[in-house]
Amino acid sequence: MRPSILRRLLRRVASTAALALVAATLSTVGAAPPAAAAGGLQQVTGFGTNPGNLQMYEYAPAGLPANAPLVIALHGCTQTANDHYTNSGWPKYADLWGFAVVFPQTTSANNPLSCFGWFDPAEDSRGKGEAASIVQMVEHAKQSHGSDARRVYVTGLSAGGGMTADLLAAYPDVFAGGSVASGLPAQCATSQAAASGCQTGPQKLTPAQWGDKVRGSYPGYSGPWPRVAIWQGTSDYTVYPANATALRDQWTDVWGIGQTPSSTDTLPGNTTRSIYNDASGKPAVETYSVSGMGHGLAVSPGSGTDQCGTTAAYFLNAICSTYYTGVFWGLDQGTPGGGQLPAPSGLQVAGVTANSVSLSWNAVPHAASYAVHRNGTKVASPTATTYTDTGLTAGTAYRYTVAAIDGSGTPGTTSPQVTATTTGSTSGQCFTATNYAHVTAGRAHTTGGYVYANGSNENMGLYNVFVTHTLKESPAGYFVIADSGCAT
């Protein structure tokens, strides 16, 4: 055995105890490598020098045309390439939309829990270790399938999500987009000792400091940045939701856009989507917060276009994240009947009363109906291009967006947001709710993972569903913390 290989193995064995912290709630039994499925997942050998000692598996639909997209999908700790292939839903959309998928695999030979080394500079840096092996897989697949080098994307779950963020930072010239599911911001940890702290609560850095970690991963890079989707369950106690906030701060800063969403809407599975547009009005970063979901990849078994996957350990029934990620990347474009309907234009407030708001917008060709969202929650599905929202509170601001729905029930792009304030006044009224609910209701806002009351800007603590405060509104639109009592 070569001395370099021996040193590598000894280092892996010695770190077993530390790695147990990295995946504390995951199974401690490593799974065996998958066998290639007949006509499905196939192992590929000889894809390069493979400095990270990974295995390459791929799925490519029959008759795949040249210049098709390419997706790289990374599994989580204790999982295999076959687990991700079987449960994530990516093969369904590879067939439907026409692209190849590479499933890299690490094993217990690299890591006792089969985790990708998102916390190890020797594995996740440009030109090194596992990151370099994955890019070699990309190059091999591009040559084998004639894939479009401008449309290569990477997605990952948990440790695979952490590695995804690192790959996007280290190789923005390779990946046009990424999707981080229950993962970590790029370069959150650079040692195993720091990895556990990242999982439960990443460093409290400014967006610019998080962005610097990306810019420092490939110094001097001046090309376009990847478009990034961020998926997170609000009840994830393995990789805490604060990581999604840090990821949002990191990539919006890299894009040079603010941390206030351009629009927010509600999707199936109690999922809130926040969209952050670039200077041209195109989504650059999207966050998907799945209420009540724990640690895992969101799937939604079924035969619908927007349904996918199989429930299993760390594949959780909520929403087909793979579908929405693919649409965000534009993988559905150019297919028969594919592609999102455009956003309704001309959304405006047609009138308000003390308890109602009337809206109108321009028709979208081929729309079967429309989804109206108030403060991120779907409230109606009218077939007309007008809607009156009733039962509202006097003197209260409400935020609205509208999306067109096609004949299959698939929602299109969400319109820009409009705000309507009902007549009357609620000055002196008190509201007791979680920090998350206060933000959703428009009484507070977030910055850097913390919540601040609108008006007074008082710090209310972390942005989550566990911290509860009472806010008093006085005057209208100005809120103060009133936990000790709220006399009106």
Looking at residue 36, its pLDDT comes to 35
Mean pLDDT per block of 10 residues along the chain (488 residues) reads 40 37 34 44 97 97 92 97 97 94 95 95 97 98 95 97 98 97 96 90 91 97 96 96 97 96 92 93 94 97 92 96 94 55 87 92 84 88 93 86 82 83 76 87 85 91 87 84 80
The residues that are catalytic are 158
Beta bridge partners of 360: 348, 386
Looking at residue 39, its pLDDT comes to 60
Q: CA 183, CA 474: separation in Å to the nearest integer?
A: 40
Domain ranges, ordered by start, for the chain: 3-329, 348-421, 430-481
Closest CA to 347 of 339, 333, 357: 357
The encoded tokens of residue 277 equal: 């547009």
DSSP codes, 192-252: HHHHHHHHH------HHHHHHHHHTTSTT--SPPPEEEEEEETT-SSS-THHHHHHHHHHH
Name the CATH superfamily for 348-421: Immunoglobulins (2.60.40.10)
The encoded tokens of residue 185 equal: 């911001």
Looking at residue 455, its pLDDT comes to 87
Structure-token match 């999500």, residue found: 161
Q: CA 275, CA 258: separation in Å to the nearest integer?
A: 11
Closest CA to 297 of 274, 277, 275, 271: 271
Structure-token match 């009733």, residue found: 390
Name the CATH superfamily for 3-329: Alpha/Beta hydrolase fold, catalytic domain (3.40.50.1820)
Looking at residue 366, its pLDDT comes to 74
Looking at residue 320, its pLDDT comes to 96
The b/e string for 44-78 (b: 16+ C-beta within 10 A; e otherwise) is eeebbebbbebbbbbbbbeebeeebbbbbbbbbbb
